[in-house]
Amino acid sequence: MARSNLITRFILLIALSWAGMLFASPANIAVVLSDESAPYQDTAGSLRATLAQSGAKAVVSVYPQSDRKIDFLRESPDLIVTIGVSAAQELAAQNLPIPILAVLIPRQAFEKIARQRDFRFLSAVFLDQPLARQMELVRLATPDRSRVGVVLGPESQAGLKSLQAAASEAKLGLAVERISTAEELLPALQRVLADSDVLLAVPDPLVFNKGTVQSLLLTTYRYQDPVIGFSHAYVKAGALASVHTMPEQVGRQAADVILRTLGSRPAWLPPPENPKYFSVSVNYQVARSLGLSIGDETVLLQKLKRASESQ
């Protein structure tokens, strides 16, 4: 009991010290990228620009890689923002007494990191959209379709109950197939397409990856089932539509979280958040090929925003 109290007091002391530093002087924020590709750079640039425009007392330093010797720790950052999964994994594994905000990270990946570590200062802005928002896009984009098909792999099966609840709330039927190996994918997809009239793509590395996307989209096209994807890239590849958050929007929301944190006493990070800012993409060529009439992207986006505000 005494040891537990000592640990609690130590953590509280760190938090209060951090809060004091934030209000006494500019916050030192370290932004750590998983790699130097454009999405990570764009997210960091948007975060930095949003903070600069706000006039916040913050010094933002961007570090291109999270591995090597983690040189940024020499600068004693008050807050770490990790962009991408690998940076979050590496920094969480260090078990540092420094708050970490993980962004551009799927919910499942973040929850796996959070389960593995007793990390007291860890939050996130999730990359993937709430299921209710995705189901609403299904309803808006394909109003004449009423039964949604989903294929779940090992990493996405834990979300089955949430998926069922979201479909029920949207008054949509649901056909689900679960797989555990790559060999099961095509037969499972064929079964679910035979029992549904629109396919919802749920992020799972076994189901949706660079090696499967084209065969999946071709199979759904043969069944005349449109696909509602989870990224702009999938729409370009042949999905009918998607709701997704762009890197610039992720950076903007990360800055929002930091600003709220800087303005709170004590300066605790908020709980993990779903994407607040999002976009809609439509592949009108696919719509014409399937004989579907679908609304303008801007109109769909506005309707989704209104639905999100009421949820």
The band of 108, judged by pLDDT with boundaries at 50, 70 and 90, is confident
pLDDT surpasses 60 at 5? no
> Which of 50-66 are b and which e, b meaning 16 or more Cβ less than 10 Å from the residue's Cβ?
bbeeeebebebebbeeb
Please check whether residue 217 is in contact with residue 227, taking contact to mean a CB–CB distance below 8 angstroms.
yes
Please check whether residue 84 is in contact with residue 35, taking contact to mean a CB–CB distance below 8 angstroms.
yes
pLDDT (0 to 100) of residue 6 = 47
pLDDT (0 to 100) of residue 19 = 47
Question: What integer is the mean pLDDT of 264-278?
Answer: 83
Helix, strand, coil percentages for the chain (3-state, nearest 5): 50, 20, 35
pLDDT surpasses 80 at 71? no
Please state which of the ranges 83-97, 172-186, 233-247, 291-305 shows the lowest mean pLDDT: 83-97
* 11-49 tens-digit pLDDT: 444 444 444 444 457 888 999 999 999 999 999 999 999
* Entry pTM: 0.84
Q: Which of 72 and 20 is assigned the larger pLDDT? A: 72
CATH number of 131-244+278-310: 3.40.50.2300
pLDDT (0 to 100) of residue 266 = 57
Is the domain covering 2-127+248-262 a CATH 3.40.50.2300 domain? yes
Report d(CA 66, CA 63) in Å as an integer. 7
The band of 258, judged by pLDDT with boundaries at 50, 70 and 90, is very high
**Sequence ranges of the domains in the chain:** 2-127+248-262, 131-244+278-310
Give the contacts of 291 (CB within 8 A, at least 6 positions apart): none
Q: What is the mean pLDDT of the chain?
A: 87
Please check whether residue 230 is in contact with residue 202, taking contact to mean a CB–CB distance below 8 angstroms.
yes
- Judge whether 2-127+248-262 and 131-244+278-310 match in fold: yes
Residue found by looking up tokens 């990856």 in the block: 209
pLDDT (0 to 100) of residue 13 = 46
